[in-house]
Amino acid sequence: MTTRLHAVLPNESTDVEPLHIVSLARMAEELGFDMVWLPDHLLPPRPYGTTYGGVYEPLVTMAAIAAATSRIRFGTSVLVLPLRDPFLLAKQVSTLERLAPGRLTLGVGTGWDATEFAAIGADFGNRGAHTDEALRLIRHLHEHGRGPFGGEYYGFDVGEFAPRPSSPVPIMVGGTSPAALRRVARYADVWQGVGLDATAFRARVDQIRASTDRSVEVGTRLEMPEGASAARVVEQAHALAEAGADHIAVWFGSVDGCADRMAELNARWAGV
């Protein structure tokens, strides 16, 4: 399989109009990127910085991207699942899939900052168990459309869930921890790592392959913020491709100069 190039959009840049983020998605489609990803936070403790801050809500933003594009796929990288109501999330995801059939991936993680959980009254200590059960509930609603579903945290006996997706929505699980890799093996269609060189990436892929017989797409994220070398990023991407990466998702930093960096990387990746 040819390794596909993805872009992580700068929807942390909430000082610009959200339609600018949509225009970057349209540009990514025109350049030939296979997919765009949007990060997520609900109530972070501080403004946007190099690693953290507020974002435009990704599912709403993806609805605008779906309307403005025709081919490119999109997903969350990653949505902090234990901060969300899984019933509402299942409905949002199925509706978005019906608006753009076959183009949506739900990428999830457990979160990492206890401060954000405390701010909205969410359970930080049991976030992994909440995430696992929420994934099972979302799959149940999408596949069956009715109850019963019984769990420790979520459950219902009677209720009609509609619309159901026209086709299954792929689940991406992000992260590199042992718990994240176990979650990939149980639930995911796609895995996305972060901060991995080719050797570390290959080791995680071997763990996933040894833990499940299901087909799981494997990829990872690289960074190309302002001042980074496109040649160096392409060199890293090729090493990861040789290590078996199905996709490489590149974060381009803040919105300033993002379009230029996307174009430069794409040209180098294509060998132009």
pTM > 0.85: yes or no:
yes
Beta-carbon contacts of 85 under 8 Å, excluding residues fewer than 6 positions away, are: none
- The whole-angstrom separation of Cα 68 and Cα 210 is 40
For 208, the 3-state DSSP assignment is: helix
Please tell me the predicted confidence (pLDDT) of residue 40.
95
- The whole-angstrom separation of Cα 50 and Cα 159 is 44
Please tell me the predicted confidence (pLDDT) of residue 45.
80
Please tell me the predicted confidence (pLDDT) of residue 48.
62
Please tell me the predicted confidence (pLDDT) of residue 188.
98
- The whole-angstrom separation of Cα 103 and Cα 17 is 24
- The whole-angstrom separation of Cα 128 and Cα 191 is 16
pLDDT digits (tens, 9 = 90+) for 35-64: 999 999 999 887 666 656 779 999 999 999
State the residue for tokens 């992260």.
175
Identity of the residue numbered 253? G
In the chain, the N- to C-terminal Cα span, in Å, equals 21
Please tell me the predicted confidence (pLDDT) of residue 44.
85
As a whole number of Å, the CA-based R_g of the chain is 18
Please tell me the predicted confidence (pLDDT) of residue 156.
97
**Integer CA distances (angstroms), 175 to 64, 119, 150, 219, in order:** 27, 23, 27, 11
Mean pLDDT, each 10-residue run in order, the chain (272 residues): 93 92 98 97 77 85 98 98 98 98 98 94 98 98 97 97 98 97 98 98 98 98 97 98 98 95 96 69
Please tell me the predicted confidence (pLDDT) of residue 81.
98
Interior CA angle at 184 toward 225 and 159, to 5°?
110
**Which residue, 167, 70, 76, 83, is CA-closest to 118?**
83
Distance of CA 105 to the CA centre of its chain: 7
pLDDT digits (tens, 9 = 90+) for 62-102: 999 999 999 999 999 999 999 999 999 999 999 999 999 99
216 CB burial (10 A radius; 0-12, 13-18, 19+): buried
**Integer CA distances (angstroms), 172 to 78, 111, 236, in order:** 8, 14, 22
